[in-house]
Structure 1
């Protein structure tokens, strides 16, 4: 691929490239330009030059471009899904779903483009007051590798419809799909400079996006330590920030829950995308009275999952995306094993065999009897490993669920209206599901509490994140 700056696909100023590998096979998928700070500055300059005309467009016209792009994305969803599987690792079914999800997001913000929001008041004795919502200007977006298409949509959809221009940095291990999606947007009529895509390391490209004084907002999704650095780099210019920094989502299964439904909730909630989802189920609390039955059903289901290359028929779960992620996961499981923090009842290791020797695979893993102080509970576990603990009642379940520095998502599984009311009120999370987990439609706000980040993406609320209010007082 090449980078997109001012409507032109070009090499980096250094002329250097980096290689993107398939995490299942180690094969080379493609190359991307190794950009530096000067490339980002060129992209920022292009975004600045495009802002006046783009922000002056009728919002409906801005939205139409997204709509036309969404139609083309749907038409090419299998092609784009195959590229996403090749660079990211997830099964092709999940990849195509993600590509369609990107199209859903663009269509949603096209629908919202018809109604610009504002306020009017007649203040007796003072005249008339208008409150307009104005675009911020140039925005920066830093995209992770786990859900690159969806999260690209979360950021560009509201930003562009609101009249902003953008400089976007994809993840270094999964930039190719983002590049193709940007190509489709350009082909749908997006003017030069409105969306610019630069690739390369976070230490240079990402930091320049965070620090550049012309960028008025940065939206970052990724690891907490990196997010803190983004906030520090953005602080001197008092930039607007949206930070989604991951989580350690608890799932509570009560004694009146539909066990089979809850088991399927775990399968999707924990093992979708090889467990590499910010809102994945990362801690499971099961009532003691049903723990044995629940764990038996769950173990049987987990041991039926097929691990392999995401392009192969019948594969349930692909590899982790990168070697550092695999090494961290192995380290966390080894630490729990050495400290006798629970019993590994299935998985717990790298699979053996010819099909796995070149990829970043780890078996889907269940660990029972995990204490609250375990590294598997206190840290975010970004992979297919699920710690399970039993609880006596809802009081204990809520106490343990909230005993975390994270607060992104949580779910409760029950038939009781009283439990639903109490749990949804008391769980310390930005998103709470009841009898489901993981689903995040574009119509609803997405974001967390505590160390899971600040700000919200998705829904009408996201438009507020990319605009600011201007108050106009008129006396006639």
Structure 2
């Protein structure tokens, strides 16, 4: 049975101190369906206190730190993440149902790398001298935007918080972080690590609670200078509209529904491996996953046959077992959503190649939120399971007859976060990648992500970029100084 959540971890974190609340949020272990602890449920008054603390910290010594000094702090955060890897893996697995065998190299290591990368970026916040036709010395400087509201979803708590907090700190900002109500353990744990690394009190604050209360208060708060949001497209539209009332700067990394195109000249074994990884990774709860597989018709039935044999063999079960690849969905609610899409597709005539049901698991796992990885064929582009973001381990497979048709199908949803293609033809790889409407395109693999490579959406997948120097730019504003020489 999973260990209980430490009581000391359950409070909000405001101005360097734990703050307890009368109202609590249950922490449910997705692998067993059991309540294993609780955390604080914050309110509007806690948001006000956190924003005030962040504002004061930004106007204090932190606001006067050099990029080199911030770099040292960020490097120490990276070191502390690795030093506390065992506990972070345990908390992410307990909170989200992540398999521990993937959590350490993916979630924990990615977060550590992001802080280390942003430590380097912190020393590059240089402006430039500009020539003018009049007698003046003109130059630009880049300044922090101020108080950042970092709002993150349930699927990658540690990673997605790092994509916002690391560049925000590198640029000299202060942060109020609202993690998802269901998965806030690693955010509360990291709050102490920030202090231990030398981040002054008030620079990073964590307020847990519902999106309707805490999230809404942050979006509407006049003391927030920037909203950095990751979540569903529906909620993102609302967040952007509400933030716009205060003309608050926003970046939005929203939903995805990526297509993975397999051309007839692809290495079939490699293509199948990429396709499976693209839809089972993180139990399909991955906005840059590849839930739509488009296969050139000569390979269509071959690919379906291989998937029918390969997918049921992907290890599914206890996320605390290092051999497990597919764990539970993060909540009972999310499993019901996934089941609804599959049943709707089945009723519309889709062929269930494999999966399509809850697995039978022993002991405590019998009540966990598991769902078998599912492959659906004979689907139509208008079916909701194809046209919408399912956010679970479901793969739809459709045939195509030409490159133009494949591109049209791939671009046939409002989303544009990620895309992929599998081919041995180098010219085709570049040609098709240039035509795909997506913020990142993978060729002959999937989910190759690194803090140096930016990603983000177009269309219904949002705007702004995470990772790379581009991320740092979105946490700064440019000031021009023109000194007359006359």
Q: TM-score, normalised by structure 1?
A: 0.97
Rounded Cα–Cα distance in structure 2 between residues aligned with 1:121 and 1:280: 43
Q: 2:393 and 2:17 mapped to 1: Cα distance?
A: 40
Equivalent positions of 1:225-236 (< 5 A) are 225-236=234-245
SS in 1 for 2:380: coil
Describe the SS at the equivalent of 1:113.
helix
1:243-271 superposed Cα distances (whole Å, 9 cap, x missing partner): 11111000000011111111111121110
Cα distance in 1, alignment partners of residues 459 and 280 from structure 2: 25
The question of 1:161 aligning with 2:185 is answered no
* Residue 84 (str. 1) matches residue 92 (str. 2): yes
Match of 2:46 in 1: 39
Deviates more, 1:218-227 or 1:352-361: 352-361
1:286-325 to structure 2, matched below 5 A, reads 286-325=295-334
Cα distance, 1:314 vs. partner?
Answer: 2.2
2:26 corresponding residue in structure 1: 19
Between the two proteins, the alignment pairs up a number of residues equal to 473
What SS class does the counterpart of residue 131 from structure 1 fall into? strand
Moved more, 234-243 or 20-29: 20-29
Give the one of 106, 113, 119 matched to 2:128. 119
Note the C-alpha offset of 1:379. Answer: 0.5
Instruction: Work out whether residues 317 and 361 of structure 2, in 8 Å CA contact, stay in contact via their aligned partners in 1.
Output: no
- 3-state DSSP of counterpart to 1:281: coil
Per-residue displacement from partner, 1:157-214 (whole Å, max 9, x unpaired)?
1101101101001111110011112211111111011000000000000001111011
- Pairing 1:175-324 to 2, within 5 Å after superposition: 175-324=184-333
Counterparts of 1:88 and 1:310, CA distance in 2: 10
Residue 468 in structure 1 maps to residue 456 in structure 2: no
Match status 1:74 vs 2:101: no
Q: What displacement does 1:124 show?
A: 4.1
Q: Which runs of 5 or more structure 2 residues have no equivalent in the other structure?
A: 1-9
Contact 1:411/1:432 (8 A) holds in 2: yes
**Structure 2 CA distance, aligned partners of 1:313 and 1:94?**
8
RMSD over equivalenced CA pairs, Å: 1.2
Q: Which range is displaced more, 90-99 or 348-357?
A: 348-357
* Runs of 5+ unmatched residues, structure 1: none
**Cα contact 1:260–1:297 (8 A) shared by 2:** no
Mapped partners of 2:345, 2:378: distance in 1 = 11
Q: Aligned ranges for residues 376-387 of structure 1 at < 5 Å?
A: 376-387=385-396
Q: Quick check: 1:452 aligned with 2:461?
A: yes
Q: What residue is the counterpart of 2:152 in the other structure?
A: 143
Distance across 2 between alignment mates of 1:245 and 1:115: 28
1:333 alignment partner in structure 2: 342
Deviation >4 Å, runs of 4+: none
Contact 1:30/1:176 (<8 A) preserved: no
- Structure 1: distance between partners of 2:348 and 2:133: 71
Query: Post-superposition shift, 1:117?
Result: 2.3
Deviation for aligned residue 1:69? 1.4
CA distance in 2, matches of 1:111, 1:411: 30
Corresponding residue number in structure 1 for 2:432:
423
- Deviation string 1:405-450 (CA, Å, 9 cap, x unpaired) is 1010000100112211211110011111111111221111110111
- 1:313 Cα deviation after fit: 4.0
206-215 or 94-103: which moved more? Answer: 94-103
For residues 317 and 260 of structure 1, what CA distance do their matches in structure 2 show?
20
Match of 1:49 in 2: 56
Alignment counterpart, residue 359 of structure 1, candidates 337, 359, 368: 368
**CA contact 1:320–1:361 (8 Å) conserved in 2:** yes
